[in-house]
Structure 1
């Protein structure tokens, strides 16, 4: 899709506010267009990587066959991750000018650690260090689970820029930001080089909305359905305020869009919004121009109703709403990890069909 960039809402917002735009895909065709809209970063995860490979299989099928010849003992999974690495390196090169211009604060390409490692902190750290070596402007995704928090601190200490993922709630975001702070403080205590890490802490606002809708339905709780569209926005605004109050060196990142408010309600803040490319196109097509909304609170009646009727929202909204151990069993965490694991399996199947075509 080609859209002219003159006077587009996304471009206007990136020129007006400190809020920055990242593209929620490493697909080079989408990323190039998003950069025209003003994007200065990109995120990726197993689902997004799978979609990018499927969308351009005529390119990737022969490359996968070539990789299989180069690495004759590599497993299907290892070959699939070689593809993810190549996709990420290419996308990182597109963002290098923004990285240089911002001193490393932006221009980052996110690559996610293998979700199959989610129970092993040491394995997550080792893979994060490896991914960080692929390009200067790589930022590595590690989940906001009890195991992931340990990996986030250690990987930060080892010099890895972090994008916290599988994160949906204020307590997860705060705990992850604190883990990053501990890693940075350990580096400073040992006299390791200080630099701009550009680390971000994602809240997947739309996935929080999805989970609360499923939870209320399962528990037969009737709430104005429009109120549940605001849950993710409320969590993002609350987390942003806490980050500002506590002076965290990481930024909040809004991801998993389900409505344009996950972009428009956050404008004006020093944070990152990362819509999928199709959402960017729709925002432009519908002329949704941004205003400074980050400090405008969600309607108190919505918050009061959700707190009174949806205990699961309280767990997601209050800073101390959950312990790190509870992060692991939070519904949105379980659902998302399962989806990421399924995407890994599907990528394995694509590789398998190329190496061993059905007969």
Structure 2
């Protein structure tokens, strides 16, 4: 489908794309102040994960230090982990309220607040499903992030069958996105076979394009492979475009989501697609400040010479081909191991932050 973009140069690029194309803008933070500003840019969704939650809570000690002390007094047997996750839930509920108008206006397709399951549960299907169901009950417009590993994908299918809206995370590659898309189709088909009521879940399947770029830079450097400068900055974009094309061709009832921004291409090259882009707020501001054009480029292929050089790398081929990896390999992919460790470390940092509040140093 060809989309004619509005040519009003007085409209900021993000707002223009949001107004004139199916491309949805989400804010890659649940910080209420940032989210309010992002909504002005056209944002109709937001996300939270351990890193984001830790950053938001640390950024607003005037709000969260007294609140954590209140929670500790209300729940005298809770440890720092339980108290920290209660703060994450409260942060998410507040952000979800800001998105309710978009949720209602879109019939549930947008207006979603993503909350991530505890990364420490990443090996346990039943625990992931139970927490996903719990989080789903926090607000009508909650969407739950579960890692795109073999364990996580099994949990996604079961949670989606039980009525949870899903956002795949810890996801960097086309094979992961396809595996999740297939799992969500199975869940929706199971619901239909069991005569469950139809509803709009707004399922999304993230590809953290910038983290794929990061990993390929690490991988090539470790093997002393020289590439044309700038080529590796297209790896995530190529994967996102390819995954979007596959989802469209197969009629998947979920959308691709672009996350982990490293350059504006991870927005500008995807405009026009029926997908979600989720930049951090600072990236949104810079895209507008620099007047990056909002042009329909989703169907414009990555330059053949760039794609050919990327495909000369075996690690890129694994990430690009729809069945380039088995589900058992997803958790061992370099970007996945690095990111999971960061999520786990953020959990530990949140625990430490809470500990300093409830057991201050003498």
- The runs of 4+ residues in structure 1 deviating greater than 6 Å are none
Cα pair 1:13 1:289 within 8 Å, conserved: no
Aligned alpha-carbon RMSD (Å)? 0.9
- Give the Cα–Cα distance (whole angstroms) in 1 for the partners of residues 196 and 252 of structure 2: 19
**How far did residue 16 of structure 1 move?**
1.4
Structure 2 partner of 1:336: 339
Residue 84 of structure 2 corresponds to residue 80 of structure 1: yes
Please name the residue that 1:351 is paired with.
Answer: 354
Q: Any conservation in 2 of the 1:240–1:252 contact (CA below 8 Å)?
A: yes
Does the CA-based 8 Å contact 1:10-1:289 persist in structure 2? no
C-alpha displacement of 1:6: 6.1
In the TM superposition, what are the counterparts of 1:61-80 in structure 2 within 5 Å?
Answer: 61-80=65-84
Aligned match of 1:131 = 135
Task: Find out whether 1:211 has 2:219 as its counterpart.
Answer: no
For the residues of structure 1 that align with 2:246 and 2:77, how far apart are their CA atoms?
Answer: 49
Q: How does 1:86-165 map to 2 (within 5 A)?
A: 86-165=90-169
The normalised TM-score by structure 1 is 0.98
1:97·1:107 contact (CA, 8 Å) conserved in 2? yes
Q: Deviations over 1:138-191 (max 9, x none)?
A: 000001001001000000000000000000000000000111111111111111
Q: CA deviation at 1:358?
A: 1.0
User: Mean alpha-carbon deviation: is it higher for 179-188 or for 200-209?
Assistant: 179-188
SS at match of 2:217: helix
Which residue does 1:8 correspond to in 2? 12
- CA separation in 2, counterparts of 1:306 and 1:223? 9
Distance 2:176 2:349 in 1: 28
Deviation at 1:340, TM superposition (A): 0.2
Correspondence for 1:265: 269
- The answer to whether the aligner puts 1:253 opposite 2:257 as a matched pair is yes
Partner residue, 2:54: 50
CA distance in 2 between counterparts of 1:6 and 1:142 reads 39
1:320 partnered with 2:326: no
State how far apart, in whole Å, the 1-side matches of 2:184 and 2:10 are: 39
- Does residue 59 of structure 2 align to residue 59 of structure 1? no
Unaligned runs of 5+ in 1: none
For these two proteins, the number of residue pairs brought into alignment is 354
User: Secondary structure of the residue that 2:253 maps to in structure 1?
Assistant: coil
- Structure 2: how far apart are the matches of 1:115 and 1:279? 26
- How far does residue 44 in structure 1 lie from its aligned partner after superposition? 1.3
| CA-CA distance at 1:225 after TM superposition | 2.8
TM-score scaled by length of structure 2: 0.97
For residue 3 of structure 2, what is the aligned residue in structure 1? none
Q: Provide, for residues 197-222 of structure 1, a one-character-per-residue CA deviation record: whole Å limited to 9, x for no partner.
A: 00000000000000000000011111
Distance 2:268 2:218 in 1: 25
* Cα distance in 1, alignment partners of residues 353 and 269 from structure 2: 39
**CA displacement 1:91-134 (0-9 Å, x = unmatched):** 00000000000000000000000000000010000000000000
In the alignment, structure 2 segments of 5+ residues that lack a partner are 1-8
Give the Cα separation in 2 of the matches to 1:187 and 1:216: 44
Tell me the distance in 2 between the aligned counterparts of 1:41 and 1:55. Answer: 21
